[in-house]
Structure 1
């Protein structure tokens, strides 16, 4: 029976299915109904994997919403992100995951098992939601954070608190500071927060950067520069949790 991994996150729900050669992945907004979003992800994956809708699949769920979905197996997101990141970047000894409402750092043993981890799930600063809120104040979109022209001056953002950062951004706009410089400063503040978290868990080795924010090349480069370590954002970085769930559910790696 095919095994589908589903990562039910706070912002998006991801699905992954191994087709014998590679992973088929999908993403759908979580919204206010994580159970329904997980069901949509499973249905999408079955269509993409050409599995008839009336055929059963084995589902392994992870993420903050894993306990509200009727899955065959539930595995912690730390374990699944570790397994997924190890598959995507076998040389990585650390996982940095920046999601919609939390961020986490996981140190890995060479075989991909979890050695240690630390999460920031109490404060929105340094997460995708932080950038989303700042984009609203700047009158731009998250895509604008990915298209900052090379050579743009960086406007430092002194506050790491979301509420105070909002006031600071509004003040900078009133002074006529270019939006691109503010965006770069906000990315730099997120990068510094990530580096601070990394320093408490891991000091050396390659880093696999996962989560929705891993799609931002500027953010990846800032973290790499600040750490002096190689930071890799693989093509399927956003799906690391779902891929890990599929790997563990399929017996390719043991989970908890």
Structure 2
């Protein structure tokens, strides 16, 4: 049985083809000005595979936009299922997305027990860090190299708009750009950890999902602020929601 999971995110639209108990294809594209078109583009790309797709599941902000979807499931539920598939030992999920951050706790079966979402301020999101890297004339995928040997500058603002103004001021004071970027990383991880600790159990086993989970500096900083040895992740961490959607599609179809 083949399932297609589609995650319509604020920054990227992701798709995963899942057959029986393994992933056979994963692809993502930037979410365009029309999330519907991005979803449809990925859907058409995936259904061009030689094997027939039995079930289609959508999740994320635009989950209601694809008419061909058999099921539309919330991103909280899909992130739980995706994490449980990739790392069933974890009981807490921290997802830092392009537009929001989420903390989800799950039980031994991968079912959601509780969650918190912060979608009120962009200063703790991937979009804020992406903006910062552009401001210092670099790219977010180079962040680990960019901040090597840096010392974090203090970022005081809790609002993305004021934080950007603060960054401009620091650059005007000739503060090294790498110190400013590392300061932003520390700021994001500190507020994310404080947010997570409202919900997470003592000594949580954390799975870090989302695009920022690809970067060593983010993983190390988040673990330090959570006061744990390390956070777990996966090379497909950015596809967590899409993987969960595909896994749940198989389960629903079998029922």
Q: Compute the TM-score of the two structures, normalised by the length of structure 2.
A: 0.92
SS at match of 1:111: coil
Measure the CA separation in 1 of the matches of 2:144 and 2:115. Answer: 28
Contact 2:99 2:119 in 1 (8 A): yes
SS at match of 1:90: coil
Summarize the Cα distance change of 1:254–1:127 in structure 2 as closer, same or farther, 3 Å threshold.
farther
Measure the CA separation in 2 of the matches of 1:254 and 1:188. Answer: 45
Task: Give deviations 1:164-191, integer Å, cap 9, x for gaps.
Answer: 1111111111111111111100000110
What residue is the counterpart of 1:217 in the other structure? 216
Contact 2:55 2:253 in 1 (8 A): no
Measure the CA separation in 2 of the matches of 1:43 and 1:193. Answer: 39
What residue is the counterpart of 2:245 in the other structure? 245
What residue is the counterpart of 2:207 in the other structure? 208
Measure the CA separation in 1 of the matches of 2:50 and 2:195. Answer: 41
What residue is the counterpart of 1:72 in the other structure? 70
Matched, 1:31 2:29: no
Contact 2:5 2:249 in 1 (8 A): yes
What residue is the counterpart of 1:91 in the other structure? 89
Contact 1:83 1:253 in 2 (8 A): no
What residue is the counterpart of 1:190 in the other structure? 188
SS at match of 2:56: strand
Matched pairs, number = 251
Contact 2:60 2:75 in 1 (8 A): yes
2:152 to 151, 154, 159: 154
Stretches of structure 1 lacking an aligned partner (at least 5 in a row): none
Give 1:57-206 correspondences, 5 Å limit: 57-70=54-67, 71-203=69-201, 204-206=203-205
Stretches of structure 2 lacking an aligned partner (at least 5 in a row): none
SS at match of 2:64: helix
Summarize the Cα distance change of 1:112–1:56 in structure 2 as closer, same or farther, 3 Å threshold.
closer
Summarize the Cα distance change of 1:252–1:218 in structure 2 as closer, same or farther, 3 Å threshold.
farther
Q: Give the CA deviation at 1:22.
A: 2.7
